[in-house]
Amino acid sequence: MCGIAGFCNFQEDFLTQKHRWQQVLVDMREEIAHRGPDQSGKYLRENVGLSHARLSIRDLSGGVQPMVRRAGGAEYGIVYNGEVYNTRELTADLAARGYQMETTSDTEVILCAYMAYGPSFVTRLNGIFAFAIWDGARQTLRLYRDRLGVKPLFYARRGETLVFGSEPKALFRHPLVEPAADADSFREIFGIGPARTPGCGVFRDLHELRPGFCAAFSRDGFAERAYWTLEAREHTDSYEETVEKTAWLLRDAVQRQMVSDVPVCSFLSGGIDSSVVTALASNFLERQGKQLYTFSFDFAHNAECFRPNAFQPTQDRPYVERMLACYPLRHTCLTCEEGVLADLLLQAVRIRDLPGMTDVDASLLYFCGQVRQHEKVALTGECADEIFGGYPWFYRPELLHADGFPWSSDLEARCALLNQETIDWLELKEYVRSRYEDALREVPRLPGEEPEARRRREVSYLNLRWFMQTLLDRMDRTSMAWGLEARVPFADHRIVEYLYNVPWEMKYQNGVEKALLRDACGDLLPPELLRRKKSPYPKPYSPVYEQLLTERFREVMQDPDAPVMRFVDPEKARRFLEAPKDYGRPWFGQLMAGPQMIAYLLQVNEWMRRYQVG
């Protein structure tokens, strides 16, 4: 993985002030140097500048970027962040067309594929990516983002200039782009956050290229288009055929994602998703006489402070131990202290450029930093719940039929600490409702579906396009903060396309959540793990963490310059801090409940202070 940035303007000759604009490219790259600490490079021509920070995973010496090729008297350049997993097939076809590769990097394969097949070539790629290609023949800068949005790509237009980068902070180093916020920014923060409306960068006039989209910027202007969308199709496979095809797709995805010129490890939580990925990766390496390194995460004192609830019924460690008994894994268990976690809440804002999933972001930031001391590439179990229907809102009727985003339908909880002036000004209910209705209009449907099947398809689509994006964004930023590449086999677009159309009765066979995944992987996991009820990513249960949050928020309340206090009702906040916190009633997802509301407001305060917005 890497960091990319750049700019383009057809009305300006950047070479007339070459040193100035080269420095801008350096400044933008240095802001995201954590994404690629191994190498760096820049490319400046009359109308375009590209900059790159490289994390070298494939062809460690030959894959330097920006990469440039010439053909027919024109120059083509690329900066790329990601991994393409079908390079072998692409390389063979390109060779038949006369392209001779000078490296073994997937970067060169992408650039040559563009030159060979044209702008629509992206549909041939299997992988996770965000990249920019300068097409000298057509005098066009093109941006591409992978189908599921695993890798980020932000952009802003300022007059005749287009500026882009892997993270907003890179854009803010361009002289034309400054962080700013408007009412919609705070509607996103308080009404939608930590999710974001697809394409919305939250900062005013800052955008994110949507998953499955590409964009072209030329003298004719700027245009975006979707090159991939989910399609609703009738599922005709029997259950046995569906299990067989799902099993093959999963095995193929993991095997493809083991391709690397550095070792690959895995995150092992003790849940079924990460255990399946770990088992397949371990089997792959064992055939080569190698062992897989694995890492699990938990919080200090959780063993004694854990409280079971409907969302998190069991602890993870016993199930990790079962996997260690079944596979030859080189395992490390990492723990995070409460004080470290609280301290990292604010650093997580800097990494993500926005308030996020509070202690989940902060803990992943800590754990990824620990893993990076040992490894450079990690497989994760992210995205399985979205495609196999593992979340409670897929099968609990009151959540499934909630009139709104099912992971965030309790808007009253979000407004619990806001003052009435803010509530009236932002009109959160109307804003969230509008975003929800917009999303429903996009859902690919089959004609004549029964109401229950129609609703399940809606919830499936909303999860893929909204909720999953939040988790992917979290994983990208917290891993790339340390130059750790996190791969997501469950986000292989072939799996997503197939599972989107599998009927709920097959995913929930015999009333068992994620039954299809369990049956497809029954030969991989020990029985007690295979039957385990879903338990999400761990969160801290120690009262020490809650006390630290309360103390820090009291300090914010007493600070006359604290920017978040323009939105907070002090009396509501005092009562909230004095009352017992509800861990079993999340206001976002499954993990963000009472303590996380305090942490979120601390992050909002840090965001407003750091970026001088609001």
Predicted local confidence at residue 305, as pLDDT: 62
Max CA pair span of the chain: 72
DSSP bridge partners of 418: 568
Structural Rg of the chain based on CA atoms: 24
DSSP element (H, E) containing 223: strand 221-226
Q: Is 184 exposed, middle or buried, given 0-12, 13-18 or 19+ CB atoms closer than 10 A?
A: middle
Residue with tokens 């820090």: 552
Q: For the CA atoms of 13, 18, 23, 25, what is the dihedral angle to 10 degrees?
A: 40
Residue with tokens 């963000």: 592
Predicted local confidence at residue 299, as pLDDT: 83
Predicted local confidence at residue 583, as pLDDT: 55
Whether omega before 66 lies within 30 degrees of 0, making that bond cis, reads yes
Predicted local confidence at residue 60, as pLDDT: 72
Predicted local confidence at residue 443, as pLDDT: 97
Q: For 241-291, where are the E strands, in sequence order?
A: 264-267
Tell me the per-residue pLDDT of 308-317, one tens digit each, with 9 for 90 and over.
655 566 667 8
Residue 129: both structure tokens together = 């990516």
Phi/psi of residue 144, nearest 5 degrees: -135, 145
Active site residue 2: yes
The separation between CA 40 and the C-alpha centre of its own chain, rounded to angstroms, equals 24
Residue 54: both structure tokens together = 């490289």
Are 211 and 241 in contact, with CB atoms under 8 Å apart?
A: no
Give CA–CA dist 228/230, Å, rounded: 7
Distances (CA, A) of 461 to 431, 449, 499: 20, 15, 11
2, 200, 336, 415: the catalytic one is 2
Predicted local confidence at residue 590, as pLDDT: 82
Q: Which parts of the chain have pLDDT scores under 50?
A: none
Phi/psi of residue 483, nearest 5 degrees: 70, 35
598's CB contacts (< 8 A; 6+ apart) are 549, 550, 553, 576, 577
Q: For 405-552, where are the E strands, in sequence order?
A: 485-487
DSSP bridge partners of 487: 379
Predicted local confidence at residue 230, as pLDDT: 97
Distances (CA, A) of 17 to 8, 24, 44, 177: 14, 11, 11, 19
Task: Look up the pTM and report it.
Answer: 0.96
Are 386 and 468 in contact, with CB atoms under 8 Å apart?
A: yes
Tell me the per-residue pLDDT of 182-207, one tens digit each, with 9 for 90 and over.
999 999 999 999 999 999 999 999 99
Q: Collapsing DSSP states into helix, strand and coil, what is residue 178?
A: coil
